[in-house]
Structure 1
């Protein structure tokens, strides 16, 4: 089995050859067909998150991420083998040769949160594939149980891979503001997540979104994807533009970037009673005035990926509404380092997808 692994933080991924693992217990072996390269992978690669205000960066090593690690949490593969403890009732109709999306946001599976269906929020022992356990930057990978595999039922593996992260992340964030879908919402960030959010918002019955990005090419991609309007987040009058282009009170902002400037803009453009949903992990510290939170009765909510049920709902919605995929750039697995470098430099529109 070939894989590209983080051997040390802030260093090029290391190509490794080792025996292809055989699935033990209830594990399932899949042959990887596509693995998305996500912005979160940059943080894992770098080893942490910027917390701003001069604070010590949040260390992933301190949070249980150990090296070497095969990243990749947006993975589609073909089922090659089931472990000896997998019963027919466990398979949910899956069989050898099926092409599946691997749900990566695993927890301990035993705590109250996990049993309640929100493994992505596990605080006992997070076990996300590609974060705490080896993921899809490889030609094979194993998944702990068949229940984490979702049959693609004809969806293209390369364009479907991002649904495991950018898809379910934006879907879950959008669900948090569904109550104001009859008004224009603001989406900050027109990368892979932003373009995904636009497609899903339309399919979910939303009026539409004004998209903010500092990159002209990404704003153009957002316009082609159906944005009501776009705004250059770096413009001195960005706030005034947002207010004017909305034409009515702004009650929801989804920030897919998550830095000091974007959260400030999102906060400032909200009307009374509005909600700021922060998804992005770019980093930094908050700058908005605390008294304005109660004065404007604003809700600030974090949104971290999504649960298994939401991922299944998402794929059902994609099929039912024939949602067009976001732009993708397929790249050979051997170019994993190039994909990360291009993402870090902001040269990608949509998603880079590694194809072993």
Structure 2
């Protein structure tokens, strides 16, 4: 389900830029000055800002942002829950937009093409992780926001904005078959779920469990089902049962029901854990078959409870984690989603609704991801009211 404006018909390159110019607010700013929404003071709400983007170099791509997904990690970072960040800070690492300029050395991203930017905008390119094509594990990788940019010495600012400048090596191609708004969360939630499924070679005959059915969990269900796996959703209570089955699950296990958990013992090859609160994984290791694996995708606030390690030893189980994916794997994921008609279920919001959307995310009041319509960034209240009349 997608709430918001319907998917527009395909546009050629020139028409895309003309449409973008028509919907973008008119602002009297230098090219490097960009309207944005971000946190200006500790503990503050999201407010309008003007940020500076770097002068594009020969390998850079200038992208006019159309949509940016809202990730729960944006809330953690913006509210200082993962430690203090340098302010002002513009969040957002799930961008889809249109190429408006490329450097002289960029030959494969035509003006007017639709592209995406995820969680990384640079890395060292020389370490073992980078040379292996696993730049997400580079210890010198540059996050899309809140990280020091080695080119300029300034701190990166994210996608709650109208424009971004990114090295072409970290820009993704968005297939035409994907709705651009619904594609935005794929650049974080999509790849975070896809990478461990591929790493553990999920396919027909694999039994996959998904613990938690939020923004990340619903993508894990859709992707695993599209790969041909038999999917079970583990969730508290029965409120999400119909939703889980609609998303592609073949069964739903109520984790509050001891009998259902007992019946699920030794039934899964892989369990994807998306629960963001501290929880006892010992309960869920019992659902795994011999040589099964539990993959931790979420970053709970606070330490996880201890568990009996005999659960691992006696069935040769693995307890592991996974972190987004490489640029190449992210492109593979986008192409897979286009080929298999997999998309994120979203609710589209304007800039004026961002603070409310953050509060609703914390309350788990969204099915299943919010996406910012970047055309609303920089518009004043009078413009918004006149367009809504």
TM-score (norm 1): 0.85
Supply the distance in 2 between the matched residues of 1:267 and 1:66 (Cα, whole angstroms).
Answer: 39
**Match runs of 1:90-129 below 5 Å:** 90-92=106-108, 94-105=109-120, 106-123=122-139, 125-129=140-144
Which of residues 296, 307, 322 is equivalent to 1:303? 322
Alpha-carbon shift at residue 9 of structure 1 (Å) = 4.5
The answer to whether 1:66 aligns with 2:86 is yes
Supply the distance in 2 between the matched residues of 1:342 and 1:10 (Cα, whole angstroms).
Answer: 17
Contact kept, 8 Å, 2:67 with 2:372, in 1: the verdict is yes
Contact kept, 8 Å, 1:190 with 1:219, in 2: the verdict is no
- Residue in structure 2 matched with residue 270 of structure 1 by the alignment: 288
- Pair 110,5 (structure 1): closer, same or farther in 2 beyond 3 Å: farther
Alpha-carbon shift at residue 214 of structure 1 (Å) = 2.8
Contact kept, 8 Å, 1:77 with 1:100, in 2: the verdict is yes
Residues 133-142 or 174-183, more deviating: 174-183
Supply the distance in 2 between the matched residues of 1:13 and 1:314 (Cα, whole angstroms).
Answer: 31
- Residue in structure 1 matched with residue 186 of structure 2 by the alignment: 163
Alpha-carbon shift at residue 169 of structure 1 (Å) = 0.7
Alpha-carbon shift at residue 100 of structure 1 (Å) = 0.7
Aligned length: 330
Which of residues 220, 231, 235 is equivalent to 1:209? 231
Alpha-carbon shift at residue 200 of structure 1 (Å) = 1.1
- Pair 38,265 (structure 1): closer, same or farther in 2 beyond 3 Å: farther
1:236-271 CA-partner distances (Å, limit 9, x unpaired) = 42xx3145357x632211101154325333223223
Runs of at least 5 residues in structure 2 that lack an aligned partner in the other structure: 1-33, 148-155, 375-389
- Residue in structure 1 matched with residue 312 of structure 2 by the alignment: 293
Runs of at least 5 residues in structure 1 that lack an aligned partner in the other structure: 50-58
- Residue in structure 2 matched with residue 343 of structure 1 by the alignment: 361
- Pair 24,45 (structure 1): closer, same or farther in 2 beyond 3 Å: same
- Residue in structure 2 matched with residue 244 of structure 1 by the alignment: 263
- Residue in structure 2 matched with residue 23 of structure 1 by the alignment: 56
- Residue in structure 2 matched with residue 7 of structure 1 by the alignment: 40
Contact kept, 8 Å, 1:267 with 1:288, in 2: the verdict is no
- Pair 228,306 (structure 1): closer, same or farther in 2 beyond 3 Å: same
1:103-151 CA-partner distances (Å, limit 9, x unpaired) = 332423332212321111111x2311135221111111121x1122222
- Pair 151,271 (structure 1): closer, same or farther in 2 beyond 3 Å: closer
Contact kept, 8 Å, 1:36 with 1:351, in 2: the verdict is yes
Alpha-carbon shift at residue 159 of structure 1 (Å) = 0.6
